[in-house]
Structure 1
Amino acid sequence: MKKQHTAGSTAAAHSKKVTKKTVKSHKKRRLISPWVWALLFILGLGGVLYGVDIAMSEGRVPRGVTVGGVDIGGMTESQAEQRLRLDLGEKTRKPVTVKAGNMSTKLDPPQAGLQVDWGKTVKQAGQQPLNPITRIRSFFETREVGIISAVAEEPFNRTMDRLSRELTRTAENAELTLTSDGKPKVKPEVAGQTINSDELHDLVLDNWLNTSRTVEGKADVVDAKITKDKADKLIRDVVNPAIATPITFKGRDNVTARIDAASMSKILSFKPNSDKPEDATDLQPVWNNDAAKALLQAQLASTEKEARDASFTEVGGSLNVIPSEDGWKIKWDETLGKIEDKALNTRTRDWEVFYEEDKAQYTTEQAKLARFDDVVGEFTTGGFSPASGVNIRRAAEMINGALVLPGRTFSLNGYTGPRGTAQGFVESGIIIDGRASEAVGGGVSQLATTLYNAAYFAGMEDVAHTPHSYYISRYPAGREATIFEGAIDLQFKNTFDTPVRIVAFADDHQVTVRLMGVKTVNVESITGPRTNPTSPEKRVIDKKDHCTPSSGAPGFTITDTRVIRDLSGKELSRETQTTVYDPQPIVECK
């Protein structure tokens, strides 16, 4: 049976629904309204407070602003500036640390021309922010605005150049050495660094007065090209095999020499593979063959015998021959070769020493045929003072009887040795800087000149001689020699096949030197004219300074040509020497 719906029942139902909906809507309005009113109240109150805050902070530094850690928020500009001067004034004179990478240095603000522009610093803090959120946050947060610097350009730029240098480092390559006991030692590489000078310039200006008193910049790392790994590889490939066991060399008479690890430190070293540091990419071993030879030679010295030339001894006024002796010496090229070949040979560590005969250059037979009957060269000089005569006679006594064997060089300093009071020499006149003075051994230069001329006319080879700076009239111009112990020597070489014997003697007036032997040549001296004259200068010397007056003498240039001929007159050689004499000054004593 179907349900019947009448108009009355429908209207009643509708009325019931409307009543329920209206009640629900009223309930909803009662739940939301308090929150809305609360929000409106808060917004209204915030607006009032915002307005009050704006009004009260007008013309003041924004809240929360700091400079160098000093809070100046809420102050007037004049108050802020005064506060900064009081709190930061002393700090502006204290050193600042400047860092970049792993390097640091110091900066002294006054010396660097750095000051603070207090007024501009306060002004840069800006105007009061209008953003309410920013204003609310300022109650809880601070904002560092830094400083505005006043800079003296010249000292500041100079300081920045220094900072750039001190914060820049060239990369250092790894190094490998051997210690005195032969152990490898590695110095690791050190990375270099570079900086951007312009960036550092700005960083310093903006941050030199910050709270940490430290300015930190950036640095670009420059890697070294030669690393510890490369050094370690050389230790494995070169050092360890070289020092693993000693290298032995077996010589005569069961004498053995050895190169051990400690010795290897004198032989083996390492250097970059390029002389230009920027081009070096690796280390390379350097083997010192001379050092290896010296080490072995010291240990094998007893196995060598030096050849001895024949010589002579005077007995009862006659010369007797001292026989020559042959010897033997090590053949180093064959024995040593390249030391690295033996050092890196891990299979063979024992080696043989090879010898060769060492022949005497002047034999007993040659000495027996020698004679000293001919005057091959002779010269005499005179005109010396009594004190100089003492020294000349002593030096002549020392070289008298000296033999100069074929191929040997005679040295006057080497033969006489020290010429002091202990050797019988006295103080006598010398010439220093163009004027007279005194020294022990003075006057021996006269013997040197006499000996030089005797060797000159004997045809000896001039190895070393030094003319006087000023011409001395008792000597032949362009053919004389001075001498000074330890500095200036007279040396000549006997280039003939027969020896010569020096005969030297002197009295109170003159000194004579003769070279006795076998005459094979005649010598002629051709002296040129005096040219290019130079005038002396005048010098005034204090009488207390051992002054000796002098009228001076002009300087000049002169040549001397030595012509050597054999006994038949055939010219063998011709040699010209030029001597330039300085003018001897005019000395006035006051």
Structure 2
Amino acid sequence: MKMAMLTILLLFINPSVQNEDLTIVHDGKEIMHIYRDDYMEEFLGEPFISSSKTTELMNQISDLVHKDAINAKIGDSGEIIPGKTGYHLYQEKFTRMVYSYLLGKGPMTIEAPKLPTHPKVDSEILANIRTQQIGHYVTYFNSNNKERTHNIKLAAEAVDSHAVFPGETFSFNQVVGKRTKEKGYLPAPVIVKGEVTEGIGGGICQVSSTIYNAVDNAGAKIIQRYSHSKSVPYVPPGRDATVSWYGPDFTFKNTYDQPILIRAKVYGGQLSITIYSSNQAEVKNRDIPDASEELPDEIDIEDQH
């Protein structure tokens, strides 16, 4: 009872403290409250708005409302799955809203203003660039190695339906992203400085190597490629492309005047990478040696030490 009386007394003594906040709303939900006094500073006895604090606020709200656009992709049955529009904070308008509150009096509620971000690859583009096969490569693996197979499938899904526009450079690390437990990658054998050891994401170099041979077959310009420090069984000697998040990357440039499309599929113990483009692309293919269909022996890591 005493606590309730004290609260009522405080409200009566200083009512101006109440209801002076700015409420920022996103998609109908309150995401932040700020108070005018926290954004004001004093210089030579005169109050002014802290630009550093308003910039920090804008960055925080930008992170909260940002949503990436999703490119169109090709489904398991060959159907085109439409892309989805994303959005980002309309920073200019948001800044005007915040300054209107800071320079005014009383409370205010604003909806965080947004601008749409359209998919880079929409259904129309995708339909146009899957009409001509310009490159292809298949490698084989032992599907009984569940961890390695799982990692290959994850990396293949990450690159599937990815489009590379004219003059654009494809980066395996950028497209696939960091290979972590949180993203579902599992420990499997990897080659480090000539030694076989176990690491998160083991097996993804077979994906990067298969892409390398497919785009080389398609006549793309190879920008960056490194071989393993030890020969690998899934491609002919010198036809591999090792990748590591903190180390080497595999990159190539689309030198054609049409976008190219990467399709990646795993069938049992086969990894198939097919490169497509539009019928207008004038392709100069290269002959590439085929991978061996003989399944590699399973690696016993303990035997390597």
Bin of the TM-score, shorter chain as denominator length: 0.5 to 0.7
**2:208·2:250 contact (CA, 8 Å) conserved in 1?**
no
Q: Is 1:362–2:124 an aligned residue pair?
A: no
Partner of 1:259: 34
Q: Kindly provide the CA deviation profile for residues 238-282 of structure 1, in whole angstroms up to 9, marking residues without a partner as x.
A: xxxxxx9434557776968532279x4xx7899xxxxxxxxxxxx
Q: 1:472 aligns with which of 221, 231, 237?
A: 231
Separation in 2, partners of 1:387, 1:313: 23
Which structure has more RCO (C-alpha within 8 Å, separation ≥ 6)?
Answer: 2
The CA RMSD measured in Å over matched residues stands at 5.2
Q: Secondary structure at the match of 1:522?
A: coil
Q: Is 1:287–2:49 an aligned residue pair?
A: no
Q: 1:404 aligns with which of 156, 159, 162?
A: 162
Q: Is 1:518–2:284 an aligned residue pair?
A: no
**1:373·1:518 contact (CA, 8 Å) conserved in 2?**
yes
Partner of 1:313: 75
Question: AA paired with 2:137?
Answer: F
Partner of 1:452: 212
**CA separation of 1:546 and 1:320: change in aligned 2, threshold 3 A:** closer
Q: Shift of residue 470 of structure 1?
A: 3.0
Q: Secondary structure at the match of 1:470?
A: coil
Q: Secondary structure at the match of 2:209?
A: helix
**CA separation of 1:255 and 1:471: change in aligned 2, threshold 3 A:** closer
Separation in 2, partners of 1:288, 1:394: 46
Partner of 2:21: 246
Separation in 2, partners of 1:259, 1:322: 41
Q: Secondary structure at the match of 2:214?
A: helix
Partner of 2:11: none
Q: Shift of residue 287 of structure 1?
A: 0.8
Separation in 1, partners of 2:125, 2:108: 43
Separation in 1, partners of 2:73, 2:264: 14
Q: Tell me how many residue pairs correspond in the alignment.
A: 248
Q: Secondary structure at the match of 1:453?
A: helix
Q: 1:439 aligns with which of 194, 198, 221?
A: 198
Partner of 2:293: none
**CA separation of 1:355 and 1:444: change in aligned 2, threshold 3 A:** closer
Q: Is 1:375–2:133 an aligned residue pair?
A: yes
Separation in 1, partners of 2:125, 2:268: 32
**CA separation of 1:348 and 1:482: change in aligned 2, threshold 3 A:** same
Separation in 1, partners of 2:55, 2:250: 29
Q: Shift of residue 501 of structure 1?
A: 1.5
Q: Shift of residue 350 of structure 1?
A: 4.1
Q: Secondary structure at the match of 1:472?
A: coil
Partner of 2:186: 420
Question: AA paired with 2:186?
Answer: G
Q: Shift of residue 492 of structure 1?
A: 5.3
**CA separation of 1:475 and 1:337: change in aligned 2, threshold 3 A:** farther
Q: 2:90 aligns with which of 321, 328, 331?
A: 331
Separation in 1, partners of 2:75, 2:274: 17
Separation in 2, partners of 1:338, 1:405: 39
- The structure that has the greater radius of gyration is 1
Greater fraction helix = 1
**1:410·1:491 contact (CA, 8 Å) conserved in 2?**
no
- TM-score under structure 2 length normalisation: 0.54
Q: Percent of aligned pairs with the same residue?
A: 13
Question: AA paired with 2:57?
Answer: A
Q: Secondary structure at the match of 1:287?
A: helix
**1:404·1:494 contact (CA, 8 Å) conserved in 2?**
no
Q: 2:265 aligns with which of 470, 482, 503?
A: 503
- TM-score under structure 1 length normalisation: 0.32
Separation in 2, partners of 1:415, 1:461: 30
Q: Shift of residue 499 of structure 1?
A: 3.7
**CA separation of 1:343 and 1:458: change in aligned 2, threshold 3 A:** farther
Superposed counterparts of 1:70-149, under 5 Å: none
Q: Kindly provide the CA deviation profile for residues 117-166 of structure 1, in whole angstroms up to 9, marking residues without a partner as x.
A: xxxxxxxxxxxxxxxxxxxxxxxxxxxxxxxxxxxxxxxxxxxxxxxxxx
**CA separation of 1:355 and 1:431: change in aligned 2, threshold 3 A:** closer
**2:58·2:95 contact (CA, 8 Å) conserved in 1?**
yes
Separation in 2, partners of 1:256, 1:394: 38
Q: Which runs of 5+ in 2 are unaligned?
A: 1-18, 43-48, 288-301
